[in-house]
Amino acid sequence: MINLPTKLGCDRIQRLTGTALVGVSVLVLGLTFFPVLREEAKYQFLPSQEHKTVISRMDERAQTIPSQVLLPVSEEFGIVIPKIGANARIIPDVDWEDGAVYQRALTEGVAHARGTAKPGERGNVFLFSHSGVDFLEANRYNALFYLIDKLNPGDDIVVFFEGQKFEYRVVEKKKVAPEELEYLKGSEDQKTLTLMTCWPAGTTLQRLLVIAQQVE
């Protein structure tokens, strides 16, 4: 025969355990998508930088009208996307087939895929970054490309390479299956830029591509 106080105690423990598990699950989900939520909040509530002009640090306007310009993090190899407030260093010639190599590169900035064009060359400049990872691994670059879904045809992207400024204009945005790789090369007779991230944010179900053409 089960003692009533003992049974009540077991029921209480089970309820507390269930509540704790739910709480932990909610916490884990919150921490996992923290970088994504942070970037979305910045986009929605902070003043837009879309109207600002991207210039070199050597430009005299950097000193005279600092509130109206954006300065790149790196002029050796860097990317600035005014509409979404992205401004990061680009790590060159990253082996996109080696997970350990590209994951390390993505802790430092945006990765440039080995074997693809450099800015100014004919062909496709292929850049990729995270769209969001868990809180424990979060750094300033983890969700850098989450907001590229906000880009539309006509939006501007600026890339600096070896001190030169290259301007690109978005022409297409699409989602593809992870196994589709033909977008890496692009067209060899044009000067294009492709940004790629996993989609939906924080998953690897699809790849989100933003394709832009160099403005000359």
Domain CATH code at residue 157? 2.40.260.10
Render pLDDT for 33-88 as a digit per residue (tens, 0 to 9). Answer: 555 555 555 655 556 667 778 888 777 777 666 677 889 999 999 999 999 888 99
What pLDDT score does 136 carry?
45
What pLDDT score does 77 carry?
97
In-domain check, residue 75: yes
96 pLDDT band (50/70/90 cuts)? confident
In-domain check, residue 121: yes
Mean pLDDT of 112-124: 95
* Mean predicted lDDT score pLDDT of the chain: 78
What pLDDT score does 199 carry?
86
Share of the chain above pLDDT 90, in %: 39
Indicate whether 178 pLDDT > 50. yes
The number of CA neighbours under 13 Å toward the Cβ of 155 is 21
In-domain check, residue 11: no
Residues contacting 8, CB < 8 A, separation 6+: none
The number of CA neighbours under 13 Å toward the Cβ of 140 is 8
In-domain check, residue 202: yes
Q: Which domain holds residue 159?
A: 33-214
In-domain check, residue 7: no
What pLDDT score does 210 carry?
97
In-domain check, residue 181: yes
Please state, in angstroms and rounded to a whole number, the distance separating the CA atoms of residues 123 and 186.
Answer: 6
Report the amino acid identity of residue 6. T
Domain count, the chain: 1
Q: Is 94 helix (H, G, I), strand (E, B) or coil?
A: strand
What pLDDT score does 121 carry?
94
In-domain check, residue 169: yes
In this structure, of 13-17, 133-137, 149-153, the range with the lowest mean pLDDT score is: 133-137
In-domain check, residue 84: yes
